[in-house]
Structure 1
Amino acid sequence: MRLTSLFTFALATNVAVGSSNWFSKAAYNKWHETELERWLSDNDIPYPTPADRKDLENLIQKNWDNYAISPYRNWDTDKLNSYLKTKGVETKIAAQANKDSLISQVQGQWYETEDKAQHAWADVKDWILDTWTESTLKSFADKHGIPVPQPRKRDTLLQQIRNNYEKVAKKTGETASYPGNWLYETWSESDLKEWLDTHGFPAPQPTTRDELIAAVRRNSRLAYLKSQEEMDAASARTNAAYGALTDKIIDAWSDSQLKEFCDKNGISVPQGTKANQLRALVRKHRAEILGDTVSGSAASAFGAATSKAGNQYAKATNDASLAAQEAFDQAIQYWSDTRLKAYLDARGVPVPQASKTDELRALVRRNSHKAASGYNAWTWDDLSYENLKNYLANSGDAAAKQVSDSASATREDLVKAAQDAYASASSVGGGSYASATSYLAQATQAAKNNVFDTWSESELKAYLDSYGVQVPQGSTLNELKAEARKQSTYFKYGTSGPVDTAFAKIGESVKGVYQWVMGQLGAGATEAKKKAKNEL
């Protein structure tokens, strides 16, 4: 008895004091060494090479909580504030300067508990596929010969791929706990870039296919958590709407309202269906959604591919992608031929000679999800006056240094000189090229969060003019900076808009189903009251 008590006490003490360490180690202690290195590399955490397994595990242990469990600990204050606003939390001005206070508030509003996050990383296949599109799931199943019963709906695809996940990894000689590039073998670079765009994660700049995959893999957990939250919100809204859909209101709806309801909710209506049959269909659908049938449940109804919430969320995700594409298409309508060609050049897309403006725009639209490949002459495009002068002065290029020394040189002169010097260094290679790319890496990283902040009004107007953007009279300096950031973002990232995430658009779209149903309820309630009054 005493031994049992001591063991219980020791276990309780261990869990209370060191639970985080125990669980976090359990998540990766079975990983292959290549997976340990892959996780560190994905999160830009330097590690020694060669390194033994113990060194790698110790390094992950030091960084695990801040990257895998509570990634918001690495966010800046702007991103922390933005997250809290999406949760309806108003942060005080004093807290904006206190990062620890913001982190504490975000922790209280985070998607999941630390224990749940620890367990999630123990079996990646349970969630890493959830943000894939139906087409990428089908391609994966076809590539690896995974049989999927017809009709091949999303839920069935997910189930079959999960069932065969380890088998596929083993067959290809790969690891499955923290999967390598094999998992995304059927994805094109455009697929990878589109995923990042849709889920609000900027593509790495410059980028390669491996870096795109790393960005998708690194952000998959957060994208999954966001999507689950939106699904839950959509389910709650739809549940509330259907819960208010009483028999009296259904009886009061006209044939056109009943048909519209069926159409909006994906209910198949055979031709010649009478009003009473329509009402029966609506009631049946309501019961299935609310889990009031013998075989139904709220969870299965909402999780099924046929549920309105699921379909609406899938549609909303697609709508967000379309919205981003439309915004990008609208932006490039004003771009000059030079800017359109530069966009394509930065992505290595050949431009046919004598291409007309409309043809250039069409080519840009077709490559809206293609990531810029490596550093290029246009990487200098939005660096500050000071950055440009520093590079030219230290480039080792005599002509570039001469421009840098000129007191009358404008920012445009410096950009042109930097581009020429870079092109020359690129063609020669060696130390000059290495020096140029090294400087670009430092300058772009330093300017990432404050680009355009030091620009003058004339510089901003000249920059926008290069896009063909007409600046309205009376525009303030902040408005010019905002427009410059927007155009620069589209130029660098394509369809990834200047907002942090497309989920704001998804959320608004999901609300549509709730608003429509509630609107119909209002109309039905009015008709029901009239009908009841007439019957008295």
Structure 2
Amino acid sequence: MRWLSVFSLGLAADAVVASNWFSKAAYNKWHETELERWLSDNDIPYPTPADRKDLENLIQKNWDSYAVAPYKNWDSDKLTSYLQSKGVETKESAKSNKDALVSQVANTWYETEDKAQTAWTDVHEWILDTWTESSLKAFADKHGIPVPQPRTRDTLLQKARANYETIAKKAGETASYPGDWLYDSWSESDLKEWLDTHGFPAPQITERNKLIALVRRNSRLAYLRLQEQKASASASANAAYATLTDKVIDAWSESQLKEFCDKNGINVPQGSKVNEVRAIVRKHRADILRDNVSASASSAFGAATSKAGNQYAKATNDASLAAQDAFNSAVNTWSESRLKSYLDARGVPVPQGSRTDQLRALVRRNAHKAAHPYGAWTWDDLSYENLRQYLANSGNAAAKKVGESSSATRDDLVDAAQSAYSSASSAGGGSYASATSYLLHATEAAKKSTFDTWSESELKAYLDSYGVPVPQGSTVNELRAEARKQSTYFKYGTTNPASTAFAKIGENVKDAYQWVVDQLGAGSEAAKKKAGDVKEEL
């Protein structure tokens, strides 16, 4: 009897905990349209019509895996990649144990469960943080938000946050889990560029609302990554400036002090005396060590490295430029037919008689434009197996016959697949739905193993379609790597689904930190030398 009482008390306690957790869940206060929007954004099917209780119950079942701990939905490769970015080593044996990887990621995740829950109750406090300065300006201008001059990113962000709910109410929209209204000032290219910059691959879609859903769904993770970068910057700046002691400052000569100020973007009024310059340096050090990090990532450290290329302030931009340059380099090797295919895939009209350089310019201009779901290019990188399976399931007798032929070349299979799809598209209805459904499945299944089963001659032919020369003596693995690279650029433009811009940012800012440390180190050496000189004089 006593055991039953204890058991009952335990259940009651668990119920209270569950009740407390559920009662504080952000979505409990969301409008029904917001509940449906969240489910739709995360590709979670829900019945229509559905009452509020059904929607909340469905979100409750999925909330933890999508909003609080999204890594629970990641595959082993993505989990391993995250851990490696955190400096956590993973053994080969551990990679096959997804539960173990999830547990490791949980221990190093950006935020606690409580913090995640709180964040989703105040979306306006962070969802704008990953926007570029130009996006914030466009938002302010579109909604008539007065922003005092100079219109810095910090000021724009502050004003946008302050007017966020007012704008939503004025438009008759909800603000807790914002609708498409929030991105009214963004073009489709802006949306894709955001995804590209933050390392979220945009699938081949043209619907604007789906691009917005992708941005909205990934905004929290992008924000957390950005915060981590800013925290790292702040810590590194603090560590560097903590070594800038009064003795070091006092040991510098007037020319060394002015050189330091010049290299660190510290304004020194004309005619300042040595002691005044020292006071300015000390004030700058105090500003940094008080951790006066503004909402702008560049403000934390930008001034300190302006003369050295201001690498931290430009880090995000540099990563984007690096990706753009790599894309441009690839495009410069593409054949005219491949350039036209790229533009055709994105619905970009090609003027009659366009020269190759004009086509390249058009391709570069549309680097962030999302491609159409399907077209002649869809079969470019599907394996023999995927092509044959598609033909077998196409419902097209002629295509099926080609797929069953043992003598059919890959080009034969591609031509048959294009023809079968074209027929299904013209017929519409069930035939078209069946064709697109299978193709989507085949494309997803082929993603990770693309080119793995291709022969050397097939890889060379594929690269030849791009106009990419194959160096003499290239190995099959090198050919596969080059084929994957060209395929990625063709499908996604400047983005690289295998890595994020944040890794590149980390490399850039690391150089900036080292530069400052070197400057401070030089000051320490000067201090030691000065102390040595004084000792000798004594």
Q: Same fold (TM over 0.5)?
A: yes
The residue type equivalent to 2:114 in the other structure is D
CA distance 1:11–1:361, shift in 2 (3 Å): same
Provide the secondary structure at the position in 2 that maps to 1:29: helix
Q: How does 1:258-269 map to 2 (within 5 A)?
A: 258-259=257-258, 261-269=260-268
Compute the displacement of 1:396 (Å): 4.2
The residue type equivalent to 2:68 in the other structure is I
CA distance 1:346–1:513, shift in 2 (3 Å): same
Aligned twin of 2:45: 46
Aligned twin of 1:62: 61
Provide the rounded CA distance (Å) in 1 between the counterparts of 2:140 and 2:103. Answer: 42
Q: How does 1:328-367 map to 2 (within 5 A)?
A: 328-367=327-366
Deviation string, structure 1 residues 387-429 (Cα, Å, up to 9, x no partner)? 1122234434455344324322221222233224334443454
Deviation string, structure 1 residues 233-292 (Cα, Å, up to 9, x no partner)? 01101111111112343345566654554344333345566665544432221111112x
Aligned twin of 2:437: 438
CA distance 1:397–1:353, shift in 2 (3 Å): farther
Question: Is the CA contact (8 Å cut-off) linking 1:320 and 1:506 kept in structure 2?
Answer: yes
Provide the rounded CA distance (Å) in 1 between the counterparts of 2:40 and 2:136. Answer: 26
Provide the rounded CA distance (Å) in 1 between the counterparts of 2:413 and 2:271. Answer: 73
Question: Is the CA contact (8 Å cut-off) linking 1:302 and 1:310 kept in structure 2?
Answer: no
The residue type equivalent to 2:115 in the other structure is K
Q: How does 1:68-79 map to 2 (within 5 A)?
A: 68-79=67-78
Provide the secondary structure at the position in 2 that maps to 1:317: helix
The residue type equivalent to 2:354 in the other structure is S
Aligned twin of 2:3: none
CA distance 1:258–1:358, shift in 2 (3 Å): farther
The residue type equivalent to 1:307 in the other structure is S
TM-score of the pair, normalised by structure 1: 0.90
Aligned twin of 1:4: none
Aligned twin of 1:294: none
Question: Is the CA contact (8 Å cut-off) linking 1:238 and 1:513 kept in structure 2?
Answer: no
Structure 1, gaps ≥5 residues long: 1-8, 292-297
Provide the rounded CA distance (Å) in 2 between the counterparts of 1:49 and 1:400. Answer: 38
Deviation string, structure 1 residues 60-85 (Cα, Å, up to 9, x no partner)? 00000000000000001111111111
Provide the secondary structure at the position in 2 that maps to 1:454: coil
The residue type equivalent to 1:323 in the other structure is A
Q: How does 1:81-480 map to 2 (within 5 A)?
A: 81-253=80-252, 258-259=257-258, 261-270=260-269, 277-291=276-290, 298=291, 300-303=292-295, 307-309=299-301, 313-397=312-396, 399-480=398-479
Over aligned residues, Cα RMSD in angstroms?
2.5
CA distance 1:481–1:260, shift in 2 (3 Å): farther
| Aligned residues between the structures | 520
Aligned twin of 1:483: 482
CA distance 1:99–1:190, shift in 2 (3 Å): same
Aligned twin of 2:5: none
Question: Is the CA contact (8 Å cut-off) linking 1:490 and 1:498 kept in structure 2?
Answer: no
Compute the displacement of 1:335 (Å): 1.4
The residue type equivalent to 1:336 in the other structure is S
Aligned twin of 2:307: none
Compute the displacement of 1:160 (Å): 1.7
TM-score of the pair, normalised by structure 2: 0.90
Question: Is the CA contact (8 Å cut-off) linking 2:424 and 2:432 kept in structure 1?
Answer: yes
Aligned twin of 1:18: 18
Provide the secondary structure at the position in 2 that maps to 1:130: coil
CA distance 1:163–1:409, shift in 2 (3 Å): same
Question: Is the CA contact (8 Å cut-off) linking 1:368 and 1:494 kept in structure 2?
Answer: yes
Aligned twin of 1:3: none
Compute the displacement of 1:110 (Å): 0.4
CA distance 1:96–1:503, shift in 2 (3 Å): same
Provide the rounded CA distance (Å) in 1 between the counterparts of 2:11 and 2:294. Answer: 40
Q: Mean alpha-carbon deviation: is it higher for 263-272 or for 38-47? A: 263-272
Provide the rounded CA distance (Å) in 2 between the counterparts of 1:309 and 1:86. Answer: 22
Provide the secondary structure at the position in 2 that maps to 1:307: helix
Provide the rounded CA distance (Å) in 1 between the counterparts of 2:187 and 2:491. Answer: 19
Question: Is the CA contact (8 Å cut-off) linking 1:377 and 1:419 kept in structure 2?
Answer: yes
Sequence identity, in percent?
A: 75
Provide the rounded CA distance (Å) in 1 between the counterparts of 2:436 and 2:178. Answer: 31
CA distance 1:414–1:309, shift in 2 (3 Å): same
CA distance 1:490–1:254, shift in 2 (3 Å): farther
The residue type equivalent to 2:237 in the other structure is T
Compute the displacement of 1:338 (Å): 1.4
Provide the rounded CA distance (Å) in 1 between the counterparts of 2:111 and 2:65. Answer: 14
Deviation string, structure 1 residues 433-461 (Cα, Å, up to 9, x no partner)? 33332221111122223222222222222
Aligned twin of 2:6: none
Provide the rounded CA distance (Å) in 2 between the counterparts of 1:402 and 1:205. Answer: 29
CA distance 1:310–1:180, shift in 2 (3 Å): farther
